[in-house]
Amino acid sequence: MTSDRSPSPAGADLPGPRSPATPYRMTVTTTLPHAEAVALADEQLASWLKQEGCEEPPPAHRAPAGTASAGTPLAAERLRLGDRVLLDRDRGPLRGPSGAGRYDRRRLRTPAPHGTRQLTLTVATGAEGRTWFRLEAETHSTGSGVRTPCRVPVPELARTLLPLLDASDGPAAVHPVPRVITADEVDALIDELCDPERRLPTVVASVPVNLPLDRWVEDVVRPLCRQLPGLATAYVLDPGARTGFNVALEYHTVYGGAVRTYLPEVDPASRQDGARHPVLARGRIEQDLRRAAGLLAREPRRLAADQPLPPPLAAVPVLRVPPPQLRPAADHPVVTSAGATVDTAADAAAELAEFAREEQQDRAEQQARADELERVRRTLRLEHRDRGQTRDGHEGRLRTGARGLAGRHCTTPGSGPAVGQRSAAQPFGWVGKPETFTDLMARLGEFPLLTFTGDQKAALALDGLQCAGAGWARLAWDGLTALQEYAEAAVSGAAGGDFKQWCEHTPDGCHRFPPRKAVRGESRTVFSHTKWKRERMLPVPEHVDASRRAFMGAHLRIGGGRTAPRLHYLDDCSGSGRIYVGYIGLHLTNTRTN
């Protein structure tokens, strides 16, 4: 049922705190007619059961498509295909006043080390004729007090069914593996990202400039996306596509081996929208590929669990399985013709006990569904409340003066890190300041008006050198937060000066960065020294400078001492409306360094 057949990791069965494993949920549409989609699902399910050593289920009765009985309800049937292996099948019309549309469902239960694995396949076709296909995998624990995996693995059926179903999500084809995008396909990809019918996240991977495309895809991108089939669509930008993609989406760029997750409803013209779409940096990926794959799958899993069902799937009724027909009990054991003794009373009692256990599983599943529904309702209520707070805060800001115009970028109420939707209690990085530069570089995407153009190696090397613990990384994060808030005000003409002045007169509600650590430029000695100046000629986009280099004398002091880190940047808010960070690392050469 799942693609993870490796033994449980050491310690997986140790007593300890338990929580339900995050389920797997895939929801796509198929171009196949309803009956063909059901037949395909039955075929693949039977094939998988055979591979697992279970009995193959008998063919399900199907009425010819288009006939009056095609949508007639079929009493749910329960098939025993092995020890604790149960297959439930039912079909019928969708719920609703008109009963338009129909569904077919298969629910398979197999034993797990400490509970039961459950796989549910549902095919539903609404009145408009679109066929939806949903695959759910979950684990129900027996409550034995053992730790369970944090998430249900991607079912093997998802990988085999996706290409056979010709599955799609709105305008996008849903493939089981990442697909390489060329320059000619960039426009189509951008249209896909912006399409309002898209429900799944879209993961776009970039390739480092110094590595071959095929090698990076095979060694890094494919393993990284191993947990995404059915939860997201994944693409890899080849070198030609990368340039066109980043030029068209200047506020949503991805490059240098990083991977970006684009949530539904991308707004390419909005700087603020860029903060919604998380970036996974190359450094984090190469540091621990397996852990990075789990991080990349986290948001698609959450979205799959929180999104409301499409109307046809929401109209599928609850599965009701009738109780088994028990054999009549006998006062005395029955002796067969072969001489064997059969205690029919004992058999009936065993069947009743088995049925009671299955009923308990059914009730546990229904309770889990109810709990999940309540969680989704709670989330929607919170989002509605936060939207109201944001709207009220916006109306209040309209009544403020020029100083309030600058401060609005720092005090807007809200619940997330997006610009214009956060509060002093939930600033950029509201999940907490990074403890290492590895984490810091991975989270630079949280600053929509800051673009890092330098080499990450200099910043990542600080994790192994710093003697000040996590203090350097936290101070650098404070500086980036202040730069972002300054950039928001500067773009709107409300900053009242450069960043140094902003630090000296920080508006109320904004994050304060020590003015003495904000340096406007280098000394005349450094500027006139050819080698030292060259070190500070750092990368910028071609539209900023035709040479793709610019002198970044302005910098932030991250710590003290001769080798303390520095953050060099170029303030181009009056031009491109952005700040370019060209270097984070140890102090560059000057009169005080060797």
- Please tell me which residue, 321 or 116, carries the higher pLDDT value: 116
- Determine the Cα–Cα distance for residues 187 and 198; give it in Å rounded to an integer: 16
List of residues 6+ apart from 475 with CB closer than 8 A: 517, 558, 559
- HSE-up of 288 (CA within 13 Å, CB side)? 9
Q: Which amino acid is at 508?
A: D
**Sheet of strand 115-125, all strands in order from the earlier edge strand to the far edge:** 74-82, 85-93, 102-112, 115-125, 131-141, 24-30, 168-169, 172-173
User: Bigger pLDDT: 357 or 580?
Assistant: 580
Short-list 162, 155, 193, CA closest to 176: 162
Residue 237 has pLDDT above 60, yes or no: yes
Which two tokens mark 283? 């450094």
User: What's the rounded Cα separation, in Å, for the pair 228 and 161?
Assistant: 14
Pull the structure tokens for residue 414.
């809200």
Residues 293-307 have pLDDT tens digits of 999 999 999 899 888
The CA-CA-CA angle for residues 319, 324, 327, to 5°, reads: 175
DSSP string, 302-337: HHHHHSPPPHHHHTPPPP-PPPP-PPPP-SSPEEPT
Are 507 and 410 in contact by the 8 Å Cβ rule? The answer is: yes
Which residues sit opposite 555 in a β-bridge?
519, 568
Beta carbons of 115 and 361 less than 8 angstroms apart: no
Take residue 84 and report the two structure tokens written for it.
């604790």
Strands 518-519 and 450-452: unpaired
Which residue(s) pair with 121 in the sheet?
106, 135
Is residue 286's pLDDT more than 80?
yes
Beta strands in 405-557 (DSSP E): 450-452, 518-519, 537-539, 549-551, 555-557
pLDDT in tens, 496-553: 889 999 998 889 889 888 887 888 877 666 666 677 778 888 999 988 888 899 988 8
Per-residue model confidence (pLDDT) at position 415:
33
Q: Which helix (H) or strand (E) holds 225?
A: none
Highest mean pLDDT among 255-259, 385-389, 553-557 belongs to 255-259
Global pTM reads 0.57
**CA atoms 261, 276, 266, 312: torsion sign:** positive
pLDDT tens-place string over residues 424-480:
334 444 477 888 899 999 999 999 999 999 999 888 888 876 454 447 888 899 999
Instruction: Please state, for a pLDDT cut of 70, what percent of the chain lies above it.
Output: 70
Structure confidence at residue 115 as a pLDDT band (50, 70, 90): confident
Comparison of pLDDT for 574 and 238, the residue scoring more: 238
Q: Exposure of 461 by Cβ count < 10 A (0-12 exposed, 13-18 middle, 19+ buried)? A: middle
The predicted pLDDT at position 169 comes to 92
Q: Hey, which bits of 47-126 come out as E strands?
A: 74-82, 85-93, 102-112, 115-125
pLDDT tens digits, one per residue of 70-98: 555 666 888 998 888 899 999 999 987 54
Nearest alpha-carbon partner for 582 in 483, 468, 475: 483
Alpha helices in 255-310 (DSSP H): 282-287, 289-306
Q: Is the dihedral of CA 482, 484, 490, 492 positive or negative?
A: negative
DSSP letters, 515-569, are: GGGEE----HHHHH-HHHHHHTEEE--TTT-TTSEEE---EEE-S-STT--EEEE
